[in-house]
Amino acid sequence: MSLTMQPPLIEKNVADVCRTVLDDATEDVLVVGPSPTVVDGLVAMLADRENGPSVRLLATESVLKASVSEFTDASVIADLVADESLSLRMSAERLDGPLLVTDDRVVSLVTTDERTAGLATDDAAFVDAAREAYTDRWAAAEPFRLRTPPLSRVQESLEREFDEELAADFERMRIALAEADDDLDEVDISLLAAARNEALLYDISTWGEGVGIASRATFSRKKTRLEEGGLIETEKVPIDVGRPRLRLLLGDDRLRGIDADEVVSVAVELLAAARQ
């Protein structure tokens, strides 16, 4: 028996195909067997929309781990999970796909360097059978646990615990970090944003541990690395009881007087030079 096929959906990227499919869906959508590229496109689309059906994403563990390997990607996904726009489960078995399964059609994604096509069928019997089969596989799969906090929580808590300037500096560095290929991470830019605003190491590391970015011990190790590279300096601040706290300051003159988003590229250059 031949299937009833719809005209292919041809868009410039995965996000646009996903947007077209989800705009027409009335119930939750199953995404099965995506590649990291498909996950990236789907997440970009979900982060950009205000409402719509929720998405249940079933992928292999390796794909999910690749998709959350960078802080920005993981924290955006964590936001989507927190507001129940997206849920994640992992399969130990090979999956068909990438497929988008809605209440009334099944769409297979085909991606090239320049465009993405969605090959779709709305054959009722096939769609019902596919949705039942993949719903069963979803139910049998293990939830995928995120270790990265939602980006909105990070941003809101920074502004609450410190001030708007430090939060804005962190955000601009985060965007620059997401677009760069370097060896800095979210802990490094937290420390650099703190040093740019002369915050205390104790305060930024306590915040980072509380919000779920990293432990205070990790912040301390990263501080030492940046200090040895000449990127930051510290000065002792006496307190009433106990050992003095350390105020973080920018070290190298090249980090001073530049925009926050430039700090990332300059910091990378300084670290590279320190290793030589």
| Contact by Cβ (8 Å): 29, 40 | no
Q: For the residues 135-157, what does the mean pLDDT come to?
A: 94
Q: Are strands 106-111 and 99-101 parallel, antiparallel or unpaired?
A: antiparallel
Please give the Cα distance from 91 to 99 (Å, whole number).
Answer: 15
| Contact by Cβ (8 Å): 31, 129 | no
From the list 186, 169, 159, the residue with the least C-alpha distance to 258 is: 169
| pLDDT classification of 119: cutoffs 50, 70, 90 | confident
Q: For the residues 178-206, what does the mean pLDDT come to?
A: 91
Please report how the helices 216-228 and 201-211 are oriented relative to each other, as an axis angle in degrees rounded to 10: 130
Please report how the helices 260-275 and 186-196 are oriented relative to each other, as an axis angle in degrees rounded to 10: 110
pTM for the model stands at: 0.88
Q: For the residues 191-219, what does the mean pLDDT come to?
A: 96
Q: For the residues 57-65, what does the mean pLDDT come to?
A: 95
Domain borders along the chain are 9-143, 151-275
From the list 101, 89, 95, the residue with the least C-alpha distance to 129 is: 101
- The pLDDT of residue 9 is above 70: no
Q: For the residues 227-247, what does the mean pLDDT come to?
A: 90
pLDDT averaged over every residue in the chain: 90
From the list 162, 161, 163, 158, the residue with the least C-alpha distance to 174 is: 158
- The pLDDT of residue 153 is above 60: yes
Please give the Cα distance from 257 to 37 (Å, whole number).
Answer: 38
Hey, which bits of 25-130 come out as E strands?
A: 29-32, 55-60, 86-91, 99-101, 106-111, 116-121
From the list 26, 35, 59, the residue with the least C-alpha distance to 109 is: 35
- The pLDDT of residue 36 is above 70: yes
Torsion angles phi and psi, residue 254, rounded to 5: -70, -15
The highest-level CATH class for domain 9-143 is alpha beta
Looking at the DSSP assignment, which residues form a beta bridge with residue 143? 89
What is the CATH number assigned to the segment(s) 151-275? 1.10.10
- The pLDDT of residue 71 is above 60: yes
| pLDDT classification of 1: cutoffs 50, 70, 90 | very low
